[in-house]
Structure 1
Amino acid sequence: MSKRNNISSGSPWEDVVGYSRAVRIGNVVEVTGTVADNEGELVGGNDPYLQTKFAIQKIKGVLAQAGASLEDVIRTRIFVTDITQWEAIGKAHQEAFGEIKPCTTMVQVSRFIDDKYLVEIEASAIITEA
């Protein structure tokens, strides 16, 4: 049986809600919904492209903590508050995952926990041996 490795970002919400930033079991890594927040500060303002870029950078960082990389990502789920912004969001996603081409889904939601967030991204990765 594979050992479970919970990876924390240190957010106080992790204990309040009962979640981890990421979980690795065996060669599988799941990354929770990630927004453009840097220790309480919004990154990217009201720009969905910049928010998406920052969220992906946060995902990249937590994947590294789990021993994975963007190249190991097999699926992303992109939640947005305004689907008409899909091109800007898609551009940021393509810049990070263009050659990797994970499966992805983009869905409009009514809102997030804070109205300043425009994009939230989840990622699934499988680490393969070279």
Structure 2
Amino acid sequence: MTEKERTNFYSGLASEPLRGFARAVRVQDNLFISGTTAVNEKGDVVGIGDPYLQTKFVIQNVRNILREAEFRMQDVVRTRLFVTDLTNWKFFARAHREAFEKIRPASSIVQVQRLSDVRFLVEMEVDAIRGCSEAQFIDFHVSDELNKE
């Protein structure tokens, strides 16, 4: 079996070696970004109490990771958002839509009891495949066969 080249990326935050994980892992043309929160380079939480601002900051952190790993936003194929209060979904969705409107990756949003710091409102994981073309959009309709009697 041929081994695939693996590169781990670190942001310099103390939590990464302390908890034994990489900020992102690149294997050939695939990039897997760990849960990313609204923390700046000094380790300070950004946008405390503001779900929109935190999500925007998280996405900016994701952009920086993508760039460092030589990927583009258009290479993002999946996002997972973990949020502490789903009633704020419009704020998370607005920031996500602004960043990914022309890309529209597969996405999930899941409410969790809490994140690793009580000041975090959102955490995002991202998967990307290098070299993705501009998205083509195909509409389909979800079957409602089970609802018919």
- 1:28 corresponding residue in structure 2: 30
Q: Percent identity?
A: 45
Distance in 2 between residues matched to 1:26 and 1:112, nearest whole Å: 30
Give 1:2 deviation, angstroms.
2.5
Structure 1 distance, partners of 2:132, 2:117, is 39
Matched, 1:124 2:127: yes
CA contact (8 A) 2:13 2:43 kept: no
The TM-score normalised by the length of structure 1 is 0.96
- Provide the residue aligned with 1:2 in structure 2: 4
How far apart, in 2, do the equivalents of 1:11 and 1:40 lie?
7
Cα distance between partner residues in 1 of 2:128 and 2:52: 23
CA–CA distance in 2 between the matches of 1:70 and 1:121?
Answer: 14
CA RMSD of aligned residues (A): 1.1
In structure 1, the residue matched to 2:107 is: 104
- Residue 15 (1) aligns with residue 17 (2): yes
Q: Which amino acid aligns with 1:108?
A: Q
Say which SS state the counterpart of residue 78 (structure 2) adopts: strand
Which residue of the other structure, out of 45, 51, 55, is the alignment partner of 1:42? Answer: 45
How far apart are the structure 1 equivalents of 2:94 and 2:132?
30
Aligned-partner SS, 2:90:
helix
How far is 1:129 from its partner?
6.8
How many aligned positions are there? Answer: 130
User: What SS does the corresponding residue of 2:98 show, helix, strand or coil?
Assistant: helix
State the alpha-carbon separation in 1 of the partners of residues 16 and 38 from structure 2.
17
What is the CA distance between 1:45 and its match in structure 2? 2.0
**More relative contact order, 1 or 2 (CA 8 Å, 6+ apart):** 1
Segments of 5+ residues of structure 1 without an aligned counterpart are none
Partner of 1:86: helix, strand, or coil? Answer: helix
User: What is the TM-score of this pair, normalised by structure 2?
Assistant: 0.84
Residues of 1 paired with 2:82 and 2:132: CA distance? 31
Q: 2:80 aligns with which of 49, 59, 77?
A: 77
Separation in 1 of the partners of 2:4 and 2:119? 38
Q: CA deviation at 1:128?
A: 1.5
Deviations along 1:4-46, one digit per CA (max 9) or x if unpaired, are 1100001111111110000000000000000111122111121
Where in structure 1 do 4 or more consecutive aligned residues deviate above 6 Å? none
CA distance in 1 between partners of 2:35 and 2:66 (Å):
13
